[in-house]
Structure 1
């Protein structure tokens, strides 16, 4: 068991590096990974089931005790990222499928990896966990609606079908995880430390599936995809921090909101794109690239902030609401 825990810690620490290696392998040896396309929904469901195993009532405690930063953070989550994606799609005159893909990445909830990044960045971890949980539970409504409103001009969107998919891929596995945690707490406690390994394997499988099935598209438009994803990700991190600063939230909260806004559940975006835009395979690529890029940029930012002391009492920043 100790060996598995060690491997799990290693995989969590080097998640970005592992997914890059998997993506490169899938690009140059697509035949060895194409079979994963049949299991993308299951793979993401495994990740969400793991999230359900670790969720507790405390994850939502801030909604009742200190709701203001949670409300601000979730509003920013579902406004900054989708609107940024829409603006970038217009600015770069993206092909329809790629425009829809990056808007989908912007419309999904925050990613679970963000919680670890906020911890390393000396941010407000409780707020980070609550934002991830709340935005995830709101995703069945917010993601289809935002995609329909913002991406409908590029590609047909069926919001009801996407609502059903998100319920199946996110809500059902999370609920099953919560039930399993309730009735088998001992088993959950013993296995909780290897969940990062399972999540890394599952997300890497999603990336490999998309890359292996789109090698020609990546080769022909790879630069444009990378520029789109990086511009979207970095702008989200920056704007999240700037808006939180303008609202005079404290330093820990600013860091948490920045990372929560900028780091998306790109694996969900990739799976939804593959399921609903199968005729437009290019739509899944922004999500696959974002899985890797968000982890890299978030880790770099967390590393920088980890070396900068938090000062929640600086002048002009005394709004202690989190």
Structure 2
């Protein structure tokens, strides 16, 4: 296992699980029941992720006249749901954490059905049809969601339920720790992929930046259009623009057996961390975000 694999398969998941534990200590069951009772925010977030994001990715692939391999790589990325990283950024930005976690979980489950459909069409349209049968690692995907997100958050909620004073004391330290871990992971990702960085940015840097900004802009615009409060707007903005890069890489390299298709995914990851970091800096420094 090289350094890049060590970071992506061990350090990053472990770090995210610890962060999710701290995140759970800020949540109560009412946070989730409120979302279910008023599902407008979930419907907006899922529509952005599952419908508009692939459409934007497809349009950009055509507009930028990407070669077939790069185009399919972009579509892999655009068809993937948000990942645990979006939950981390939402926490530091003081967004609606329960909404973020709910969107990640639901979109991840639904995408098991949507990704094969989207990618089959993309492979045929862009002329790289290799007669590959796309079968997502369903069990691995569910386990990833459970181990990294659902279980740690549930444990954190239990801790808050039984020792609310401890949970409240740890809220600020955990938010600071989340920011520090985010920065360390970002630097580690850059260092581990330094040799691929230049080529990746040359091949897909601009189009992936446009995709990232466009999807985040879509999230913010739609949330405001339907009069969601600021905390929910932050969550939907982040969920619309932070994708599950790990799942995307698995699809490109393990299922489609094409390492080159991972180039747009790697480039997007850089922009994703940068724009996520900017949002964390802008919103995280506020002492409080009200509901308006």
User: Do both proteins adopt the same fold according to a TM-score greater than 0.5, normalized to the shorter chain?
Assistant: yes
Q: In structure 2, do the counterparts of structure 1 residues 194 and 48 end up closer, same or farther at CA, with 3 Å as the change threshold?
A: closer
- Give the structure 2 partner of residue 264 of structure 1: 242
Q: Unaligned stretches of 5+ in structure 1?
A: 1-32, 120-124, 307-311, 313-319
Provide Cα deviations, 1:209-245, integer angstroms capped at 9, x if missing partner: 4x25x62xx5445333111111101111222333344
Q: 1:233, 1:263 within 8 Å by CA — same for their partners in 2? A: yes
Q: 1:269, 1:287 within 8 Å by CA — same for their partners in 2? A: no
- Give the structure 1 partner of residue 287 of structure 2: none
- Give the structure 2 partner of residue 73 of structure 1: 45
Q: What's the Cα RMSD here?
A: 3.9
Q: Unaligned stretches of 5+ in structure 2?
A: 124-128, 285-289
Q: 1:105, 1:264 within 8 Å by CA — same for their partners in 2? A: no
- Give the structure 2 partner of residue 12 of structure 1: none
Partner of residue 131 from structure 1, selected from 78, 81, 99: 99
- Give the structure 2 partner of residue 197 of structure 1: 180
Partner of residue 168 from structure 1, selected from 143, 161, 165: 143
Q: In structure 2, do the counterparts of structure 1 residues 178 and 243 end up closer, same or farther at CA, with 3 Å as the change threshold?
A: closer
Q: Distance in 2 between matches of 1:277 and 1:207?
A: 25
Provide Cα deviations, 1:70-123, integer angstroms capped at 9, x if missing partner: 32223223222222112222332333443333233322216124415754xxxx
TM-score, scaled to structure 1:
0.65
Partner of residue 98 from structure 1, selected from 63, 66, 70: 70
- Give the structure 2 partner of residue 143 of structure 1: 111
Q: Distance in 2 between matches of 1:39 and 1:245?
A: 37
Provide Cα deviations, 1:134-180, integer angstroms capped at 9, x if missing partner: 1221244233333212222326463342x223223232232442465
SS at match of 2:73: helix
TM-score, scaled to structure 2:
0.70
- Give the structure 2 partner of residue 50 of structure 1: 18
- Give the structure 2 partner of residue 238 of structure 1: 217
